[in-house]
Amino acid sequence: MNLPVLSIIGLGKLGSPMVAAYASKGYKVIGVDINGDFVESINKAKPPVFEPKLGEYLLSYKERISATQDYREAILNSDITFIIVPTPSQEDGNFSTQYVVKAGEEIGKCLKEKNEFHVVVLVSTVTPGSTEKDLLPALEGYSGKKCGVDFGLCYNPEFIALGNVIEDLLNPDFVLIGESESRSGDILEAFYKNICPEGTPIKRMNITNAEITKIALNTYVTTKISYANMIAELCEKIPGGNVDIVTDALGCDKRIGHKYLKGATGYGGPCFPRDNRALIYTARNYKVILPIAEATDEINRMQPDRIAKKILDVLPPQGKVCILGLSYKPDTNVIEESQGIKLAKKLEEKDISVTVYDPAAMNNARQLLRKANFANSLQEALTDSDVIVVVTPWPEFKEIDPDWLKADSTIIDCWRMLDPQRFNKRSKYLAIGVYHE
């Protein structure tokens, strides 16, 4: 069977792993990016972004992978094009489609030269209506061709977690396809049947419903996180309360489930916060109020203040604070909407001495934290700190030696990942979501 050739526009946090993952399934993949360094890295089988397994995959399947800055080279030599470019959030919560439109214009120019039916697939997250309102006119206008006749258009967002992108791409819970017409949907479904394990649900619908589904799904997950954080705060106030015991029981109900029901810090990253706000924006645009989505966002915005108050309650005069974790989650260097960054900024505003440490995100964080001390190691970060806050649950933090800690210091463990018995002799241990006398 002759597999279609793929082109992927955008070689960032998702685009580069897509190149590697799809090449691993036998596809020839051409990556495109305006960033020459990214293109050079891909052609040298080196990861242009931080993501576990990416370097290994690029090296293993390099014979099927190439990259270029030339749209024409990529489009004329491929059959399906995936667009995964930034869609920055705007002040009102809407997503900007300026980069999507620019990619559509460049693709359209190339489609003008093609006689074969070509499928264009938008992967970037957009607000409902944007694919057909913004991308479609760019493709038709610059190609002089008709969607559904000369080329196809699909909206096909991915549901991945940074730090596990390749695994999530190859083993998704389900595939979401918004199609302009059935021919394009058929081509994309056939592609995914070669990529995914047998039996993976493939949900096909019109483009608008797919756009709604994408942001609705992520907002549902954020609601679950904020709900658990709400219960954690309640448990801290009631004698004997422990959020882990409560959520463990709640998660046994199949209608609820354990995933994302932790009760810790707020959610962050490049998807969850902005997708929640985008759903709120979309609803308001159609004169609909979504109180659950708005409450979810409000609860999440409160979390850094909640933890900052706990720090101030135990911090001695002129005391020093250590924040462990600046990436928004483990196994990534991404700091977008990071709870650790937000917390450090709040403490900096109060002129509190802050030392920070993260296994992967230190360089990125330097751009945002001007006053903080950046430790060179975990042990160095802990030295002389009066309050230590575990904000991101990196596995490395489980290796903290109590002897590294200053006598009479306080540990605030947001994820309850440390053993209190190991620390109580030297430090005071406080767990988020647990009642303390």
Angle (CA) 314-318-320 rounded to 5° is 65
The residues carrying an active-site annotation are: 271
Structure tokens at 200: 């993976």
Question: Are 259 and 252 spatial neighbours (Cβ–Cβ below 8 Å)?
Answer: no
At residue 309, what are phi and psi to the nearest 5 degrees?
-65, -40
Question: Are 140 and 126 spatial neighbours (Cβ–Cβ below 8 Å)?
Answer: no
At residue 192, what are phi and psi to the nearest 5 degrees?
-70, -30
Element (H, E) at 211: helix 207-237
Q: Which residues pair with 242 in a beta bridge?
A: 434
Distances (CA, A) of 231 to 136, 226, 235, 262: 45, 9, 6, 10
Structure tokens at 114: 């093609």
Question: Are 18 and 121 spatial neighbours (Cβ–Cβ below 8 Å)?
Answer: no
d(CA 29, CA 60) in angstroms, rounded, equals 14
**CA Rg value for the chain:** 24
Element (H, E) at 411: strand 410-413
